[in-house]
Structure formats: C-alpha cells, structure tokens
Structure 1
Amino acid sequence: MWSLAALVIGFGIDLLVGDPHGFPHPVVLIGKCISVLERALRRICPKTPAGERAAGVILWGAVVIVSTAVPAGLLWLCGLVSPWLRLALESVMCWQILAVKSLRDETMKVYDALVSGDLAASRHAVSMIVGRDTDRLDDAAVTRAAVETVAENTSDGVVAPLLFLAIGGAPLGFFYKAVNTMDSMLGYVEPPYKNIGLVPAKADDVVNYIPARLSALLMLAAGGLMGLDTAAGWRIFRRDRRKHASPNSAQTESVCAGLLGVRLAGDAWYHGVLHKKEYIGDASREITHEDIPRVCRLMTVTAILTLLLSCGVKLPFAL
C-alpha cells in the first residue's frame, strides 16, 4: 500500500514539477557510473570483440546491481525510522524515475522554435531529445523527429517505468532506468559501442518487450478518448509495428502515426552515418507543427491511463 501511494504521489509531483534544472537527479548519477565503468573496463578488458562483449556483461551487471540495491537499502533504512519517512523518500524516487512533464516541456521547446520560424533553434532543441544528427533537418523533419521521440518515449519514459514501479516500487523502477540508460548510452551498432553495447541493447529489448506492446494498446485507448482515428491507429499498428531495427520502438510509433494520420520514421543520420529506415504510417496529410502539442497530449493521457490501470491491478493486493 505504501509503494502504491508513493507511486501516485510521485506521478502527481512529476506532472506538476517535472525535472527542475539544477535539482540532483539519480539517473544522472547512473549515467556517470556507466561512463566511469566503461572507461575502466575498456582499459582492463582485452581489446577484442569478445573482450569488449565481456566488458559489456560486467558493466551491465554492476550497474543494475548498484542501481537497484542502493535505493532498496535507503528505503529499508528509512522504514526502520518511520513508514512516513519511507513514503516521502519513495515518492521522491518515483517522481525522479518518471518523465512526463520534462519530456513534454523539452518537446514544446521545439514547437516554440518552429512556430517562431527559427530553424536553427528548433534543430538545437530537438537535438536535446533525439539521438540522430539534426544539422541537416528541415522544418518538417524537425517536426517529425519531435513527434517520433514523444511517441517512442511514451513507452520507455512513461508507461514502462510506471509498470515497473507498480510491480516492485522504486527499486524495480531504478532497475528499469538503469537498463534503459545503458541502452541509450551504449546501445549503438557503430564502433566503439558495437561490442560493449551488445548486451545492454539486447537486455533493453527483453525488458521492454511487454511494456512496449502494452504501451501501444494504452496509447490506442488514449487516442479514442481524444477523438483521434483509432481505426487507422489499429490498422497502422498491425501493419507497421515491426518496421524498426528494435523489436519495440515501432510499437507506439506505429499507433501514433495512425492516430495522427501522418508518416513517421524514414532515413536518418546518426554520428555521420546514414541509416536506411522504412516509413511508418501513411501520409494521409502533411505533418504540421500542431502535431507536436497533439502528441504531447496523447502521451499525457496514455500516462494517466497507465497509472489508473496500475492502481486498479495492484490495489486489491495492497489492501
């Protein structure tokens, strides 16, 4: 019951406050831990494909153990003092694991730059939330990149963390964030990450397999509540959900493309290398700037539905 209450409180704080600039964030610490271990293991392990893959296994295990054990230990210690102290700490942890408002705020910076006609500023703003190269993007491509990242991150930045928090409280939430952060930092197919990032990337695929598909269904339901084209959302989901190198990324992207009636994905540059990608969705109409606030609203409604589902499933077991 305490963990469920912490989840609801943390979700509310995230919607209201987001991630204030300058406020200490544990995910930043996880990222620094990954960077330090990566440098150390590259020095220690053999500089061969097998040696780098072994380094990736060691790194993954170490980061996951630390990221899960530290919050679990802190919550246990607080619980010895007072259940209310534990509730307060776990609420803060849940807040920092979630990213609804921060993703919306960062994406709306792209929108603001686009509507003001500042392409350079919009490229810079979108570079803060996507992994692709942005210096070649035109107005429509910047808009598409922003919509895509919100659609994809609805799963791994919103729905999946909520599900892990509902199942195992803040420790399991931090387990998920550690897995996801390692994939974001190391899960690339180009050198120097191809080998050391293999296990982190595959682990992220496994951990997100069920949440990604549940996210797609919840997004479809959210689209229905918003009056969007759910028939097209379902059709494009069934047709295009496998059109991505990752088994998970196109799940919510395909639903979003169908709901909005736009075409997403396509070729993109990463670290100076062109990656050929299939399009997702039909170009029923041209993508517009207004699709950015529209997809942000879709993400928020999906998040609320996920919270309600999590509470509805867990509450009988918490009583």
Structure 2
Amino acid sequence: MSEIIISNLLSPVVLFFVLGLIAALVKSDLKFPTALTETLSIFLLIAIGLKGGIELSKYSLEEVYRPVVATIALGSLLPIVVLTLVKTIKLDTKNAIGLAATYGSVSIVTYGAAISFLDHTGVSYEGFMNAMVVLMESPAIIVSLIVLKLLERKEMGKDIYSSQKIAFASPNTSFLDKEVLKEAFFGKSILLLLGALLIGLVTGDTAIPVIQPLFIDLYSSVLILFLLSMGLVAGERLPEVRKHGIKLLLFGIILPIVGGILGVLTGYIIDLSLGGMTLMAVLAASASYIAAPAALRTSVPEANPSIYLGLALGITFPFNLIIGIPLYYQFASWLL
C-alpha cells in the first residue's frame, strides 16, 4: 500500500499539483490566465468524452446496460448519503444541499488523474468507464435540488405529496426551475462530455487518426498544466475552509472515503475489473467543482461557495489526488 502511495506521490501529475499548492500558500505571483484554465478544461472534457465514445462503440448494449444503470443509481444515492452524514455537524439546509450536489457529482480531473495512475501501474480497465463520467454528472444535482424543494415545502407546513401534485399539474408552478434543469443537463461540462462521447460513438476507430495528435498524445501534458492551475486554486481556498472548523475539514476526507467504498462495492456487484472498480470508486469519491457549483449558483444562491467549493478543491481534491486514488485501488484489490 505504501509503495503505491509513494509511486503516486512521485508522479508528474501529483507533483505539479503540489507545486501549484505551494505557490499559492507562499503567495507567489504565479498566476494562470482565466482563459487558459478554461481552455485546458475544455480540452480535458472533449478528450475524455471522445475516448469514452470510441471505446463505447466497441461494446453492445447488453454489455453496458448494467454499468449504466448502476452508475445512475449510485449518482442518485450519493447525495442522500452525504445529507445523512452532514446531519452530524448540524449544517444549515442550503449549505448541506450544496455539499450533497457537489459530492454526488464528479470531478473530471480527478478521474483523469486516476486513468494516469492506472496507466502508470499497468492496470487495464473497461473502455466504457469514460462514458460513466457523463452519466454521473447530473443525477446528484437533480436529486439534491428535489430534496431541497421537498424540505422547503415541509418547513412551510405543506403536505409534500399534495404539493408535488400541484407542482406538476399547474402550468404556473414548476417542481424544478427550467434554468436548473438546463444547467443539470446542458451545462458546459455535460454538454461537452456528452457531445464528444456521441461523436466518438458514431465515428468509432475511424476518428483515431484525426484526434490522436491532439487529444490522445498530448492528454497527459495538458493534464499536468491543468493540475498546476488547480493547485493554485486549492491553495487559495484552504483558508476559507478552515474558517468553518475541524469537523467540516474532516468531512472533506470522510465523504470521499465513504463514496470510494460505495463505488468499489458497486463495481464489484456489476463484475468490473480491478481498474474498472477503481475508476467507479473515484467517480463516487470525487467532488464536482464545475457542473455542481454552476447549478448551485443558479438554484441555491444562499449556499456558501467557500464551503462546498472550498472543501471540494481545498481538501477533497488534494486528498484524492495524493492518497485517495491509491487507497481505492487497494480497496478494490482486497475485495477481489
């Protein structure tokens, strides 16, 4: 176990993230232009979507329907698990929903780092796992917002079930705001992932000669640059997280471990390989800092970004990158 963690710590991907973290903590003048960070993010989303679509084209529906159903179910369950655990620190409803949506959704960069880890260790994985990233983005956001609506109506003293009927029956009342649904299904990250996935699925292997020079050969190098910029952001967010006490800091480590265990068990139940189980664990353990925050800004503006975004970037992201990924790999190895 210690050898796996040390090997991961010494990989260029992790070391450049640590470099960015140190630069932020010592208040270096190192900065990434916002446009460059945005460009790198778009690159990673397209690259993972394309590779997932091309690999998915090699499988029949019969081979992938179980992973698809399991992934959607896991993504829907995670926010409920998070809300249950968060009760112990008595966080207010809006911020608890913020954590549920953030930790139920996925971090595309953590997933990319996990792929690099598996490639480095020589462990294979099911190609369709890249498609599962897309499927895991939205369920947690939607479930979290539905729970929020139910809680708000309960607090107002209304009957939840009759309120649902009114909401769906009345043309003037909506259970979920259209803007929320639009962000959950057509936000930048999901649109790019899903679009690239469909393009890869339609074109299959014939697309490889076209996309390989940019989206395959340069993937690891672009990931390094992006993680350097994420190190800077994570370092800047750390003071914000510390303001809310040690219990919240611990949740930034507890939540990914719980999610990772659920991910490994899900992968085991649907007969994934060691690499596939590790990636499923990473999907369940990571926290979104693109799709979920964008939806939360629209639908739950009262939720404090320094809590859900600060915890995701300042604590969980570094934990997963340095210790979490090898830990979930070891969990999967023990189970197998």
Q: Which has the higher contact order (CA 8 A, sep 6+)?
A: 2
What TM-score results when the alignment is normalised by the length of structure 2?
Answer: 0.28
Q: Which has the higher helix share?
A: 2
